[in-house]
Amino acid sequence: MLMTATQALTGPDVAYLVPEILLVGAAIVLTVLDLLLPNTVRRGWISWLTLASLAGAAAAVIGQFAMFNPFDGDAEVVSLLSDSYRIDGFALVMKLVILTASMLILLMGIRTIERDDAIPDKGETFTMMLPAVTGALVLCSTADLITMFVGLELLGISTYVMIGFRKKSSLASEAAFKYIVIGAVSSAIILFGMSYLYGVTGSTNLGWIAWALEQAAADYQALVYVALFFIVAGFAVKIAAVPFHAWAPDVYQGAATPVTAFLAVVSKAAAFIALVRVIFNTAVIQTPFILGPGVSPVGEDVLLALKVLAAAAMIVGTTAALRQKNVKRLLALSGVANAGYLLVPLAIGIGSTSTNNLGDFAFYLVAYLFMTIGAFAVMAVVGRAAGHDELKGYAGLYYRAPWTAAGMVVLLVSLAGLPVTGGFFGKLFILLSAVQMKDYWLAAIMVVTSVISYYFYFSIIRQMFMRTAETEAKLSVPAPTGIVAWICVVATLALGFLPNAFMDMFEQAVTLSRDIWIAVPK
Amino acid sequence: MAGSFPWLTLLTFSPIIGLIVLLFLPGTNRRALRWTAIVTTLVPLALSLWLFAVHDASDPDAFREKADWITIALNHEAVNIESSAYVFQYHLAIDGLSLPLVVLASLVAVMAALASVHIKKRWKAFYVWFLLLETGMLGVFLARDLILFFLFFELTLIALFFLIGIWGSLNREKAANTFLIYNGLGSALMLIAFVLLIATAGASLNATQQGGDLVYTGDYATIRSNLTAENSLTNLPGHYENPFALSDGMRWAIFILLLAAFGIKLPMLPFHTWMLRVHAEAPPSVVMIHSGVLLKMGGYGLIRFGVGLFPGLAEEAAFVLALLGAAGVLYGAALAFVQTEFRLVLAYSSVSHMGIVLLGIASLNEIGLQGAVYQLVSHGLISALLFLIVGSLHERTGTTELDELGGLARPMPFMSGMLLAAGVASLGLPGLSGFVGEFLSFLGLFETMKWVTAIAAIGVILAAVYILRSVLKITFGPQQERYAALKDARLIEAVPMIALMAFIVLLGIYPSVLTDAMQGSFDDIIAQLNARMGG
């Protein structure tokens, strides 16, 4: 048995927890305020205060870039409570991604939730987002299985509530119930896998696990398989990868559109970020002379399982979306396919000349963030005007709101992976890495499913530009939602024309050996 | 003399400037929109004609524009090198292969812009997509970086989807979808081939003190030289596992992927179904561009990437290519003969004529390759003219069914005469451009594969039969009462007809205009083939 050296939390360490503490504090204060204030007081300002606290957390994360400068190759990673909490380059960049997404979703939700008659308590829906985001931030920063589980549950339980807040809609209640059951089962599966991993390695710290796993795999091979496969399966539910995706369309459809966007982007991203830490400390580990991924044969098989998951997600996600007439469900299935694309960099492992997995992953994640949130923003406006989320609600959008329709084209083209957009380069980078690792079949599936996806993404375009609307009335776009849509469009194009801006920043800030592989005192 | 002014960039993106002007015009002012678009398309035409006049094959760098567009430093922790990066260039250039096609593209664009008087709705959006399409197709012929080429190629795909889907005839949405998925598949195959090339032949190592800088590039010239040079990473002999090596099997895989990708576009025989629908449904001015230029991107890609990068494999596959070409020639001709709808006659005739391009490519000698390019340009002009006339006819008669047309020579002598002239140009009458392209292609192939040439040549006879059958049916025969009062071509229709016809005649009687420009363009390919045979 290994003993993890205990490490207490000191005063200065608290400075590194400012973003999380800020969010938790704001959540408590705002919830209490919402509770105490009489019903006559309008709740609109709570949403703005929530946004402000998210912005504050983002500012704090940016401040941490100064405290731990990830661009400096010699900077030492800040490790709190024996790597329960790490401030490293990967964590900081991913926290910014999560916070950006959350702010955009909140901004887009301000008017949408206010106008949603099915939600009686507007204030709570916003404040509930704060613990959810805190959970996501914890997942960015942790390299310890227990803390990771706490983060997952914090995120999960808050989102169950967020879906359920749409109390007057039976679809939402169904969605919330389904999500609770599925979420609880997946958490249980992850926890079960984690317990085995602890059992065979004697530690919950990913660094120690990576160190001890080789021996453990030799001694208890079957148990290591059980541990890792269960963890992967549990995460596959959270990221909605096939065959663990069936909940996604129902849950997405039932939830209020901003909450759907939160599930599609923040929840998915956070689960992916945690999965990156797990995979890159178990299946892919640092070996003295790196010739390929470590821990064979277990690691190889875990990667193979991830590849199969990725392929299945891409194929099933796109083919199931072909017949979908409800845009929300369509985006849910598109999210399944995108989970497949995002899984590829995790699944292909590293090679003697190809170690760009995290850059590929992060780039596509950011592109996915903008194009998906943008699409949901447009959907919130169109769905509100039409009273439903069916495809025909988009008919003639070009006549009713030409600029919104044009922006939506950019987002859809990016989702389809066509140039010149972030979605194109995201897929291109993943494709290049897959080919460098000689995973030709995975690359072929990626490309072919992208082409199939043209059909349903362009079916929305067809509705917008080639059909006539029932009404000629101009569509009114609330300012915050419109701003979000346009931020997303501009960002999608910027990622397409200047993909190097983000990629260079990321490659300088994040390295596998410093940020992901955890040095353990041997 | 070119100085440092980015003429090629101006050529490629001048339609975008016009597009921006268009955006500020009111959508209801049809006349202003139309003339802005027409004037815009004149800019690339003037520039490309000027380039054609001053281009000197011995100085290929005179108009080269090259800048690193995207340089991305990659994670390189597992390698004993100093750095690793993707470099995708903004790289435009002209040579004897691309220049004729650039001229063709800009010429047909002007004519199509003039012919767009038939467009009845949403003019502003139409011209916006139209100009985007022009930038896309000009860029395709000028780009010398694989990724940049792909971007322009996809731009034409998106623009054409809208042009067919909004302004097409009855089944427009279905046609747009078929087009999108079929061509999307072609682009996907191309993307896989390109990615494979960038990851292997695109890699080069610049030695430094810390081990070297590894660079993956999409630069065409680099990839080409890495594929052949003996000391490149791709061809490095070694007993260890070389991540950049391309086995023979992989080379074949890439070659076949490229063949299929551009074969779909051309279209090569089994992949032609999508283009029939486009020909039948798209608005006439868009078909002019589609048939006149976009199909040519397939032939261009086959020569530039298929033959240009893998001449050895192309030689081994030449017989199959020739058979596919011959099959296309005969099949297209036979089916054109039985069609009752004039647009479909022309569509199958395109299949047949693109088969001849394939024959020229399969010859793999200078004459045949020149013939292939000549045929591309010539067919581009002829089909643009034919579809221009079809558009004008359709506007007047409301149909393109052969059974319902007849005796149009009396009410419309000018247009009927043009139709007849374009028809005989299409069937390859000496003195017009169609003849030269076919003759050179067959001549080239005859040197290597006599029997295939002989069989394919039957298609030329068939061409005379199906073209004359349909053209004569339309122009002569009993005049129908309801067509008696139709007006002949207006000036705005007549001008592009005359201009296109002038170019067809020019190329027919004075072929060296074009062949001189192409002189030496295929030297590299031929030299590599000779080296193979010598070695």
Query: Is the bond preceding B283 in cis, omega lying within 30 degrees of 0?
Result: no
Chain B nearest CA to A352, separation (Å):
6
Q: Which pLDDT value is given to residue B79?
A: 66
DSSP-assigned letters across all residues of B246-293: --HHHHHHHHHHHHHHHHHHTT-GGG-HHHHHHHHHS-HHHHHHIIII
CB pairs under 8 A between A and B: 115
Asked whether the predicted pLDDT for residue A291 surpasses 50, the reply is no
Per DSSP (E only), the strands in A113-224 are none
Distance CA B217, CA B202 (A): 5
Q: Which residues of chain B have pLDDT under 70?
A: 1-3, 78-80, 238-240, 532-535
Nearest-by-CA chain B residue for A459: B177
Q: Is pLDDT of A243 > 70?
A: yes
For residue B71, give the 3-state DSSP assignment: strand
Strands B213-217 vs B203-206: parallel, antiparallel or unpaired:
antiparallel
Angle CA A167–A169–A173, to nearest 5: 65
DSSP state letters, A192-205: HHHHHHHHHHS-SB
Q: Is the dihedral of CA B346, B351, B355, B361 positive or negative?
A: positive
Q: Which distant-in-sequence residues (6+ apart) come within 8 Å of A469 by Cβ?
A: A395, A396, A397, A399, A400
With beta carbons less than 8 A apart as the criterion, state whether A434 and A442 touch. yes
Q: Do A356 and B74 touch (CB under 8 A)?
A: yes
In this complex, the residue of A354, A357, A455 whose CB is nearest that of residue B181 is: A455
Give every strand in the sheet of B203-206, ordered side by side: B65-73, B83-92, B213-217, B203-206
Residue with tokens 């016009």: B18
Residue A6 scores a pLDDT above 50? yes
Residue of A nearest to B84 (CA): A353
A356 inside 8 A of chain B by CB: yes
Question: What is the distance between the terminal CA atoms of chain B, rounded to a whole angstrom?
Answer: 41
pLDDT band at A265 (very low <50, low <70, confident <90, very high): very high
- pLDDT given at position A113: 84
Residues of chain A positioned with their CB less than 8 A from the CB of B196:
435
DSSP, collapsed to helix, strand or coil, labels residue B401 as: strand
Which residue of chain B is at minimal alpha-carbon distance from A403? B23
Q: For residue B155, what are the CA distances in angstroms to A103, A206, A496, B7, B218?
A: 33, 46, 13, 21, 18
* Cβ <8 Å between A455 and B176: no
Q: What is the pLDDT of residues B297-345, one digit of tens each?
A: 999 999 999 999 999 899 999 999 999 999 999 999 999 999 988 999 9
**A108 contact partners, CB below 8 Å, separation of at least 6:** A258, A261, A373, A376, A377, A380, A480, A481, A484, A485
- Pick the more confident residue, A485 or B485: A485
**Contact (CB<8Å) B172/A499:** no
* Å between A418 CA and nearest CA of chain B: 7
Chain A residues close to B184, C-beta within 8 Å: 451, 454
Determine the distance in angstroms separating the CA of B124 from the nearest CA of chain A, rounded to an integer.
12
> Can you say whether the dihedral through the CA atoms of B70, B71, B73, B74 is positive or negative?
positive
> For residue B267, is the peptide bond before it cis, meaning its omega torsion is within 30 degrees of 0?
yes
Token look-up 């024959």 returns B359
Range with lowest mean pLDDT among A294-308, A374-388, B292-306? A294-308
| H/E stretch holding A143 | none
Give me the helix-helix angle, A298-322 and A327-347, nearest 10°.
Answer: 160
B151: nearest CB among A420, A466, A510: A420
**Closest-CA residue of chain B to A433:** B199
Contact indicator for A417, A361 with CB cutoff of 8 Å: no
Q: Which pLDDT does position A332 carry in this prediction? A: 94
Q: How confident is the model at residue A114 (pLDDT cuts 50, 70, 90)?
A: confident
- Judged by CB atoms closer than 8 Å, whether chains meet at B73 and A508 is answered as yes
Pair type for strands A85-87 and B83-92: unpaired
**Of the partner residues B157, B188, B216, the one whose CB lies closest to the CB of residue A450:** B188
Distances (CA, A) of A491 to A269, A372, A417, A431, A494: 18, 12, 15, 22, 5
Instruction: Give the pTM.
Output: 0.94
- More reliable by pLDDT, A297 or A18: A18
Distance between CA atoms of residues A378 and A384, nearest Å: 10
Could you tell me the CA-to-CA distances from B469 to A142, B399, B422, B479 in Å, in that order? Answer: 78, 17, 14, 16
Mean predicted confidence (pLDDT) in A220-234: 93
Distances (CA, A) of B258 to A214, B50, B180, B230: 44, 32, 18, 23
Q: How far apart are CA B282 and CA B288, in angstroms?
A: 10
Taking Cα atoms as reference points, which of A411, A413, A385 lies closest to residue A397?
Answer: A385
> For residues B80 and B211, is the Cβ–Cβ distance under 8 A?
yes
Tens digits of residue pLDDT in B339-369: 988 999 999 999 999 999 999 999 998 899 9
d(CA A213, CA A456): 44
By C-alpha distance, the chain A residue nearest B81 is A353
Do residue B188 and residue A503 have CB atoms under 8 angstroms apart? no
Cα(A267)–Cα(A264) distance, integer angstroms = 6
pLDDT for residue B2: 47
Q: Comparing C-alpha atoms, which of A363, A325, A353 is closest to residue A507?
A: A363
Lowest mean pLDDT of A54-63, A77-86, A290-299, B269-278, name the range: A290-299
Q: In what helix (H) or strand (E) does residue A5 lie, and over which residues does it extend?
A: none
For residue A320, what pLDDT is reported?
94
Give Cβ neighbours of residue B344 (< 8 Å, ≥ 6 apart): B276, B279, B280, B336
What is the 3-class SS of A348-370, one letter each residue?
CCCCCCCCCHHHHHHHHHHHHHH
Cα distance between the two ends of chain A = 13
Whether A513 sits inside 8 A of B77 (CB atoms) is yes
Q: B147 contacts in A (CB within 8 Å)?
A: 428
Which of B71, B157, B216 lies closest to A500 in CB terms? B71
For residue A60, pLDDT beyond 50: yes
pLDDT given at position A474: 86
Of B73, B75, B157, the CB nearest to A358: B75
Option in A356, A413, A444 nearest B75 (CB): A356
Per the CB < 8 Å rule, is B75 touching A507? yes
Predicted confidence at residue B57, as pLDDT, reads: 76
> Cβ–Cβ of A431/B185 closer than 8 Å?
no
CB contact under 8 A, B77 and A359: no
Contact: A354, B243; criterion CB under 8 Å: yes
CB-CB under 8 Å, A507 with B73: yes
Q: Is the ipTM of this complex over 0.90?
A: yes
Residue B78, pLDDT score: 67
CA distances from B364 to A159, A319, B269, B299, B353 (A): 64, 42, 20, 14, 18
Say if residue A419's pLDDT is above 70.
yes
The C-alpha of A219 sits at a distance from chain B's nearest C-alpha, in angstroms, of: 29
A355 touches chain B (CB under 8 A): yes
Q: Please name the residue of chain B whose CA is at the shortest distance from the CA of residue A418.
A: B154
Single-letter amino acid, residue A345? P
Calculate ∠ Cα A64-A66-A67, nearest 5°.
Answer: 65
User: What local confidence, expressed as pLDDT, does residue A287 receive?
Assistant: 63
Taking contacts as CB-CB distances below 8 angstroms, the residues of chain A near B191 are 428, 431, 447
A513 touches chain B (CB under 8 A): yes
pLDDT reported for residue B3: 57
Mean pLDDT of A262-287: 91
Name, in order, each residue with C-beta under 8 angstroms of B134's C-beta and a sequence gap of 6 or more. Answer: B15, B41, B44, B105, B106, B109, B289
The answer to whether the Cβ–Cβ distance between A499 and B72 falls below 8 Å is yes
The answer to whether A498 faces chain B, any CB pair under 8 Å, is yes
Is A359 in CB contact (< 8 Å) with chain B?
A: yes
CB atoms within 10 A of CB A224: 26
| Contact check, Cβ <8 Å, B191/A351 | no
Residues 160-219 of A with CB under 8 A from B: none
Residues of B in contact with A354 (CB under 8 A): 78, 243
What's the gap in Å between the CA of A448 and the closest CA on chain B? 7
Q: Is the dihedral of CA B166, B169, B174, B180 positive or negative?
A: negative
A431: which chain B residues are within 8 Å (Cβ-Cβ)? 191-192, 195
From A99's Cα to the closest Cα of chain B, the distance in A is 25
Average pLDDT in the A413-439 region? 93
Residue in chain B nearest A466 by alpha carbon? B166
* Closest by Cα among A92, A123, A110 to A19: A92
Chain B nearest-CA distance from A419, in A, is: 6
Domains of chain B, by residue range, sit at 7-200+245-527
A420: cis peptide before it, omega within 30°?
Answer: yes
Give the pLDDT mean for A100-119: 89
Pairing of strands B65-73, A78-80: unpaired
For chain A, the maximum distance between any two Cα atoms, rounded to a whole number of angstroms, is: 72
If residue A482 lies in a helix (H) or strand (E), which one and from where to where? helix A479-497
Considering only CB atoms, which chain A residues are within 8 Å of B189?
447
Least confident interval from A122-131, A148-157, A314-323, B239-248: B239-248
The span from the CA of A138 to the CA of A143, in Å, is: 10
Out of B161, B173, B243, closest to residue A352 by CB: B243
Asked if A318 contacts A244 with a C-beta cutoff of 8 angstroms, the reply is no
Residues of B in contact with A508 (CB under 8 A): 73
Q: Cα separation of B186 and A448, whole Å?
A: 10
CB within 8 Å of chain B, chain A residues 410-439: 413, 418-420, 428-429, 431-432, 435-436
CA distance B240 to A145: 40
CB spacing of A511 vs B77 below 8 angstroms: yes
Contacts of A503 in chain B (CB under 8 A): 72-73
Residues A496 and A421: beta-carbon distance below 8 Å: yes
